[in-house]
Structure 1
């Protein structure tokens, strides 16, 4: 059976779902998005994702397509119609459809809202048992990475660079410092101290990142928010990434250098356990 997706007020079989060829998301990547995890048929940290979505739209002077309450109802309806137990809900908002012009469309142009789901095993991910390997690549993205836009060409290229290198992902580097992964925030652990880049326009303000750092501090773990180099990462005891689709995922190799024993470290493993436990309880 095909998926039921949401397009501008309608729930449709995916084969029937369409948007205009003049949609600015298609023509200019003029859109923002969010991905919310579903565990046990419930949404993980929906409020955090909604808050970031509204911030992204505000930074781009984009009109929200609905209220937060309406968006939550759409998510829940999509979960119910598709019988989704575990996976992700992807949503995308664009500035709408208008004749091609670099200037924004006329005031009153309706934004486009699209949602669909993907089934995925996340909580019991096999990758978390062995960890992932990453390479470093130059960070060639635009400067406003704190806005979650659909401009994902370079991260996509980074994923392919990693694939061609026979590893799982890539960490991007700017002025000698790691910014983040292609679709995740990056961390290292040395002497029990968790190090991750501070918030700014250089990285996405991860919703999972915020929760994990909060749980780490509540567990009396030491956190330092600052940049780090690839060389510092290679000398670390362990490393990990966080994202809505991976939760806390151990990193066991960076540019061919094995970290620690080459297996998931205790800090990443414990944080993953805490995150899953707490988010199952808080899911809506």
Structure 2
């Protein structure tokens, strides 16, 4: 058995080391590409159809034709994942990503003359050990000075390869708090989102989250909203302030890898509920685990050093 993972690369499944991108690829040069990422639970991909549907909305927004139907993309993703599963370590899982760029620039040409799309489907092991402590201690969230790009400039619901806005914010936060998680404010000064993640606040039994038009409406975010409805927990999408965060009883970060993870502090200020996770967060964690038939919190905690 090969010790190297495989990836789909422009029509073929090859060892990862053979999936080589030209330095003229527009995604490398300009961030001119889109992607989406699901995760596995015990080797099973969660909500692959929803992720692929969102991928194709991103492709439509930026005007890239991947040359594959959504059904073909799903089948390729399943095959790549299944071929990589034997290479997982004990109690590990994957991020499963599709990445499509506009293709290789034609020197002297214009944007319409690229050499056709670059299409990659790949698997990356989840950083379970690196993030395990967050389920024990909670996430320390910091609000950086960097603001999220306005939706008037670029829709936040498009997952592009240009993450510089998030990266600069993350670098600012980690320069003085290496373990902290950056959550940006939007251009108006309201709570927005973090790197590949959404934010929820809990106050007086109500779940609050920033409005969908200002954030990437994550698949995990939507899953939590649906689970809250099943549990009878009211959900309000609203403009939320830093003050709202400071007075929250509980707070949650959602993402593909985290599913949902409790927040411990905002700008080093501890939340009103001393326990991590709080009661509403715990209800939602349990409901999420039941939905995927997998104890994702236990999986993280088993990777504590």
Normalising to structure 1: TM-score of the pair? 0.91
Shift of 1:158: 2.2
Q: Give the structure 2 partner of residue 106 of structure 1.
A: 113
Q: Give the structure 1 partner of residue 299 of structure 2.
A: none
After TM superposition, list the pairs within 5 Å mapping 1:55-134 onto structure 2. Answer: 55-83=57-85, 84=88, 86-100=93-107, 103-106=110-113, 109-120=115-126, 125-134=132-141
Q: How many residues of Structure 1 are paired with residues of Structure 2 in the alignment?
A: 279
Task: State the distance in 2 between where 1:65 and 1:131 align.
Answer: 43
- Helix, strand or coil for the counterpart of 2:220? helix
- Helix, strand or coil for the counterpart of 1:194? strand
After TM superposition, list the pairs within 5 Å mapping 1:2-21 onto structure 2. Answer: 2-21=4-23
Q: Give the structure 2 partner of residue 177 of structure 1.
A: 190
Shift of 1:160: 2.3
After superposition, what is the alpha-carbon deviation per residue over 1:23-73, rounded to whole angstroms, capped at 9, x for unaligned? 111111111111110111111011110111111111112113311221122
Q: Give the structure 1 partner of residue 53 of structure 2.
A: 51
Normalising to structure 2: TM-score of the pair? 0.85
Q: Give the structure 2 partner of residue 231 of structure 1.
A: 243
Shift of 1:121: 6.0
After TM superposition, list the pairs within 5 Å mapping 1:268-283 onto structure 2. Answer: 268-280=281-293
- Identify which range, 1-10 or 30-39, moves more after superposition: 1-10
Shift of 1:105: 2.3
Q: Give the structure 2 partner of residue 190 of structure 1.
A: 203
Check the 8 A contact 1:253/1:262 in 2, yes or no.
Answer: no
Task: State the distance in 2 between where 1:208 and 1:127 align.
Answer: 17
- Identify which range, 220-229 or 90-99, moves more after superposition: 90-99
- Helix, strand or coil for the counterpart of 2:113? coil
- Identify which range, 56-65 or 252-261, moves more after superposition: 56-65
- Helix, strand or coil for the counterpart of 1:81? helix
What are structure 1's unaligned runs of at least 5 residues? none
Q: Give the structure 1 partner of residue 270 of structure 2.
A: 258
Check the 8 A contact 1:95/1:111 in 2, yes or no.
Answer: yes
Q: Give the structure 2 partner of residue 245 of structure 1.
A: 257
Task: State the distance in 2 between where 1:274 and 1:217 align.
Answer: 11
Any runs of at least 4 consecutive aligned residues in structure 1 with deviations exceeding 3 A, and if so which? 100-103, 121-126
Check the 8 A contact 1:186/1:240 in 2, yes or no.
Answer: yes
Shift of 1:242: 0.7
The answer to whether the aligner puts 1:210 opposite 2:217 as a matched pair is: no
Task: State the distance in 2 between where 1:60 and 1:156 align.
Answer: 21
Check the 8 A contact 2:206/2:236 in 1, yes or no.
Answer: yes
Task: State the distance in 1 between where 2:149 and 2:241 align.
Answer: 18
Check the 8 A contact 1:5/1:17 in 2, yes or no.
Answer: yes
Structure 1 or 2: larger helix share? 2
Check the 8 A contact 2:254/2:261 in 1, yes or no.
Answer: yes
Q: Give the structure 1 partner of residue 297 of structure 2.
A: none
Q: Give the structure 1 partner of residue 298 of structure 2.
A: none
**Alpha carbons of structure 1 residues 10 and 217: separation in structure 2 relative to 1, 3 Å:** same
Shift of 1:280: 3.5
